[in-house]
A and B are shown apart, each in its own frame.
Chain A
Amino acid sequence: MNIVENFDLFAPRLINKKELLSSGHRACSGCGEVLGVRLMCKALGEDTVIASATGCMEIVSSMYPTTAWEVPWIHVAFENAAAVASGVEAGLKALRRKGKIADRDIKVVGMAGDGGTMDIGMQALSGAMERGHNMLFVCFDNEAYMNTGIQRSSGTPMGASTTTAPAGKVSMGQKTWKKNMAEIMVAHNVPYVATACPSFPLDFIRKVEKAKKVKGPSYIHCFTVCPTGWRCPSDQAISLGRLAVETGIFPLYEVENGQYKLSAEMPKKLQPIKNYFKSQGRYRHLGEDEINMIQGKVDKEYGKLLNKVECLKAWD
């Protein structure tokens, strides 16, 4: 039975009804990222403190003197969300131990976009994860610097056209493979790493709930469609997220204590990536050879992932 088709039946039992990111924020219509943040907040509940990086989610939610946040929230700068979150965690820990605040479990969450996580925020995140703070970090990856105007990041996929790696007469756009951030987090030996996408809301919520229960650092890489930056219709934000997963461009999986597990949402047989590419303006310039080249890499990477799921069981 498809849970999404029976959403009204299941939702009240599966999703926290309380909105912790209120409506009235200034995100673009069809923003997959703000949907991701909203679902994350629902999964986390009220006993949460969020440290956010500079970026779309920060500017759309905190325009002084208004705020969309119904949970404690702090923003300091672009590259330091993980460092700020680690300080919040350390501060709450000390105050709780010393009896200065109530003895209550509070989950500290750092969040940033792909630039704030994979590029400029990478050092602070690596440090925070290595130090073992009891915190979750969520990367909301929309595959470019959307807030500043669709410039390429290390999260931009091969072949996508951006304002700093544009397609041109002698260029196919992005000429590098997307950085595999989830794998970098796995290499930090943190207890829980997952990939997610708000197009699969229950899967995402379940993963956030799981991360919340981890005593120690955890990381979720959340793939979020950006109609503005991807040059696609805003009513495709959900369907494109599903296609990214179903083509294997962005597979959903979890890594718990080093053990890989493919999420139930992954299809038995992947769709060709051209199904995912066709409605996106950022891929419009790609020819058949280029698409085949990218398809080859997607197949290879997916194969490697399936191998990790199988082979690493021996090390459980």
Chain B
Amino acid sequence: MAKRVGMEVALAVAEAVGQCNIDMAAVYPITPQSHIGEHLSDLVADGKIDAEFVTVESEHSAISAIIGASGTGARVYTATSSQGLMLMHEILPIASAMRLPLVMGIANRAVSGPLNILNDHSDIMPQRDSGWISMFVENGQEAIDLSIQAFKIAEHKDVNLPVCVNIDGFQLTHMVEPVEFPDQELVDKFLPARVPFATLHPSNPVTMGAFAMSDYFTEIMKAKDEALKNSKKTILAVWDEWAKIFGRTYKPVETYKAEGADILLVTMGSMGETAEIAIDELREKGVAAGLVKLRLWRPFPFAEIKEVLTKAKKVLVTDRAVSFGGPGGPVCGEIKAALYHEAVKPAIYNYIIGLGGRDVRVSDFTSMINQVAAADASKVTDTYEFLGVRE
């Protein structure tokens, strides 16, 4: 049985990636990701992992370099945050169209401006339609587990897509948490060597990243969409296998005291744990509130979301980013779309919370839920609210 240790989550992520027999990593410094890159380079410098660590001159080159290395058949990793992810934006859909199994850790941070180094989800949301598998974690242990699982999912022969693991910056990356590393032998068994579909090698020359106009482009886009949707089967199978070997279960949509709840709160990322405390308090006071935590952002778990949310009268969706001039928060927009065709559907309320690192306390969750509990569901509108905003 693996030993429990206290470790900063960013370092734990690097340790976990180090357990995956990676061949190459390219990481550029940015707060709050930097500790992942620093610790990975420590592991390489100490000979604990046999990999090339490429100290690129930008995040754009980080993602470009790992694409090149992945093309050779190498197992590759990068990590970034915020502006770094925005700089990579151009290359993200190319990576998924090239069907390369990249793995990226994202220490989620607000996007400028104004410049802000603290946590929200405004960096990952503009990447939503890039064709990447995108997952969120809630604590250090999940960050370790999903970072390892990500390679297995990405490299699976039925997937061959890039995967990003979203880890809330500071709130998670800089916390020292009790975590447990899986035994190396078990990881090696769980994650065998990558078997690439094609590689850049003179023994069998291939052309990667060809030019395609209107006669093929639509088919390639459809193939990417199908691949991303189909990846869910593999994701579920990998989580099933993980549970059997390591005893920790993962689902696309996690729930907490959702059974019999009239009001369901939806969170994504590290705030789930704070929200759990709020649900406990409300349940003690007799409020029938429950929690739904979205783990899988892409492919979006439509079936699971419908299954759990249609049972409630009211749904309170929290978003950590804004779709300016649009439907409010991107998570809420997705949930509304998922429920549109349901015959019986809950009233949906949307709160934008925790932007740029603004603290969201247990009392904030209880007060949001109490407000929604008091609202008349027949009068719900398509508005959204910025929690605690000074106007």
A residues at B contact (CB < 8 Å): 46-49, 51, 58-59, 62-65, 67, 69-77, 79-80, 83-95, 97-98, 100-102, 104, 106, 123-124, 126-128, 130-131
With A84-B68, A124-B57 as known contacts, state yes or no: A65 contacts B216, CB within 8 Å: yes
Contact pick for A94, options B52, B57, B65, B98, CB 8 Å: B52
B261 at the interface (CB under 8 A from A): no
Query: Judging by beta carbons under 8 Å apart, are B91 and A77 in contact?
Result: yes
Query: Judging by beta carbons under 8 Å apart, are B209 and A62 in contact?
Result: yes
B70 contacts across to A, CB distance below 8 A: 87, 91
Q: Select from chain B the residue with minimum beta-carbon distance to A73.
A: B207
Task: Quote the shortest CB–CB distance from A40 to chain B (angstroms).
Answer: 16
B66 contacts across to A, CB distance below 8 A: 87
Contact pick for B61, options A63, A72, A75, A124, CB 8 Å: A124
With A63-B210, A127-B58, A131-B55 as known contacts, state yes or no: A101 contacts B201, CB within 8 Å: yes
Query: Judging by beta carbons under 8 Å apart, are A94 and B51 in contact?
Result: yes
Q: Select from chain B the residue with minimum beta-carbon distance to A60.
A: B211
With A93-B52, A94-B51 as known contacts, state yes or no: A72 contacts B68, CB within 8 Å: no
Contact pick for A75, options B24, B54, B91, B209, CB 8 Å: B209
A91 and B208 CA atoms in complex are apart in Å by 15
A97 contacts across to B, CB distance below 8 A: 50
Quick one: CB contact mask for B14-54 with A, threshold 8 Å, 1 for yes? 00000000011010000000000000000000000011101
Task: Quote the shortest CB–CB distance from B162 to chain A (angstroms).
Answer: 13
Query: Judging by beta carbons under 8 Å apart, are A49 and B73 in contact?
Result: no
A69 contacts across to B, CB distance below 8 A: 205, 207
A173 and B180 CA atoms in complex are apart in Å by 66
A84 and B68 CA atoms in complex are apart in Å by 5
A63 contacts across to B, CB distance below 8 A: 210-213
B238 contacts across to A, CB distance below 8 A: none
A59 and B74 CA atoms in complex are apart in Å by 27
- B: interface residue count bin: 35 or more
Query: Judging by beta carbons under 8 Å apart, are A90 and B52 in contact?
Result: yes
B60 at the interface (CB under 8 A from A): yes
With A47-B202, A80-B61 as known contacts, state yes or no: A87 contacts B210, CB within 8 Å: no
What are 11 pairs between A and B in contact, CB < 8 Å? A63-B212, A71-B205, A72-B207, A74-B68, A76-B98, A84-B68, A90-B52, A90-B68, A102-B203, A124-B61, A131-B54
Of B50, B72, B201, most A-chain CB atoms within 10 Å: B72
Quick one: CB contact mask for B63-90 with A, threshold 8 Å, 1 for yes? 0111111111110100000000000001
B residues at A contact (CB < 8 Å): 23-24, 26, 50-52, 54-58, 60-61, 64-74, 76, 90-91, 94, 98, 193, 199-203, 205-213, 216
A127 contacts across to B, CB distance below 8 A: 56-58, 61
B91 contacts across to A, CB distance below 8 A: 76-77, 80
The 6 closest A-B pairs by CB, nearest first: A87-B68, A91-B69, A127-B57, A87-B65, A91-B72, A83-B61
Query: Judging by beta carbons under 8 Å apart, are B210 and A91 in contact?
Result: no
Q: Select from chain A the residue with minimum beta-carbon distance to B60.
A: A80
Query: Judging by beta carbons under 8 Å apart, are A72 and B24 in contact?
Result: no
Query: Judging by beta carbons under 8 Å apart, are A123 and B57 in contact?
Result: yes
Query: Judging by beta carbons under 8 Å apart, are B202 and A106 in contact?
Result: yes
A69 and B200 CA atoms in complex are apart in Å by 12
Query: Judging by beta carbons under 8 Å apart, are A88 and B69 in contact?
Result: yes
A160 and B77 CA atoms in complex are apart in Å by 45
Q: Given A63-B211, A67-B210, A84-B65, 4 more contacts at CB 8 Å?
A: A72-B208, A73-B200, A73-B205, A94-B51
A126 contacts across to B, CB distance below 8 A: 57
Contact pick for A51, options B50, B52, B58, B68, CB 8 Å: B68
Query: Judging by beta carbons under 8 Å apart, are A74 and B216 in contact?
Result: no
Query: Judging by beta carbons under 8 Å apart, are B68 and A46 in contact?
Result: no
Task: Quote the shortest CB–CB distance from A114 to chain B (angstroms).
Answer: 20
A101 and B50 CA atoms in complex are apart in Å by 15
Contact pick for A87, options B51, B60, B69, B208, CB 8 Å: B69
Task: Quote the shortest CB–CB distance from B88 to chain A (angstroms).
Answer: 11
A100 and B52 CA atoms in complex are apart in Å by 14
Query: Judging by beta carbons under 8 Å apart, are A94 and B24 in contact?
Result: yes
Query: Judging by beta carbons under 8 Å apart, are B71 and A91 in contact?
Result: yes
Q: Select from chain A the residue with minimum beta-carbon distance to B25.
A: A90
Query: Judging by beta carbons under 8 Å apart, are B23 and A95 in contact?
Result: yes
Task: Quote the shortest CB–CB distance from A122 to chain B (angstroms).
Answer: 11
Query: Judging by beta carbons under 8 Å apart, are B200 and A100 in contact?
Result: no
Contact pick for B68, options A86, A100, A102, A123, CB 8 Å: A86
B55 contacts across to A, CB distance below 8 A: 131
Query: Judging by beta carbons under 8 Å apart, are B207 and A84 in contact?
Result: no
B199 contacts across to A, CB distance below 8 A: 72, 101
Contact pick for A100, options B56, B73, B94, B213, CB 8 Å: B73
Of B51, B56, B70, B207, most A-chain CB atoms within 10 Å: B207
Query: Judging by beta carbons under 8 Å apart, are B64 and A91 in contact?
Result: no
Query: Judging by beta carbons under 8 Å apart, are B65 and A86 in contact?
Result: yes
Query: Judging by beta carbons under 8 Å apart, are B211 and A100 in contact?
Result: no
Query: Judging by beta carbons under 8 Å apart, are B67 and A84 in contact?
Result: yes
A83 contacts across to B, CB distance below 8 A: 56, 60-61, 64-65, 68
Task: Quote the shortest CB–CB distance from B254 to chain A (angstroms).
Answer: 36
Query: Judging by beta carbons under 8 Å apart, are A91 and B94 in contact?
Result: no
A86 contacts across to B, CB distance below 8 A: 54, 56, 61, 65, 68
Q: Select from chain B the residue with minimum beta-carbon distance to A47.
A: B202
With A83-B56, A87-B54, A90-B69 as known contacts, state yes or no: A74 contacts B211, CB within 8 Å: no
Task: Quote the shortest CB–CB distance from A105 to chain B (angstroms).
Answer: 10
With A58-B211, A83-B61, A86-B54 as known contacts, state yes or no: A74 contacts B202, CB within 8 Å: no
Query: Judging by beta carbons under 8 Å apart, are A88 and B72 in contact?
Result: yes
With A46-B202, A91-B24, A98-B50 as known contacts, state yes or no: A59 contacts B211, CB within 8 Å: yes
Contact pick for B200, options A62, A74, A80, CB 8 Å: A74
Task: Quote the shortest CB–CB distance from B352 to chain A (angstroms).
Answer: 33
Contact pick for A62, options B51, B68, B203, B210, CB 8 Å: B210
A131 and B56 CA atoms in complex are apart in Å by 8
Query: Judging by beta carbons under 8 Å apart, are A94 and B205 in contact?
Result: no
B57 contacts across to A, CB distance below 8 A: 123-124, 126-127, 130
Q: Select from chain A the residue with minimum beta-carbon distance to B70.
A: A91
A71 and B201 CA atoms in complex are apart in Å by 8
Query: Judging by beta carbons under 8 Å apart, are A91 and B52 in contact?
Result: yes
A85 contacts across to B, CB distance below 8 A: 68
Query: Judging by beta carbons under 8 Å apart, are A95 and B72 in contact?
Result: yes
Query: Judging by beta carbons under 8 Å apart, are B50 and A72 in contact?
Result: no
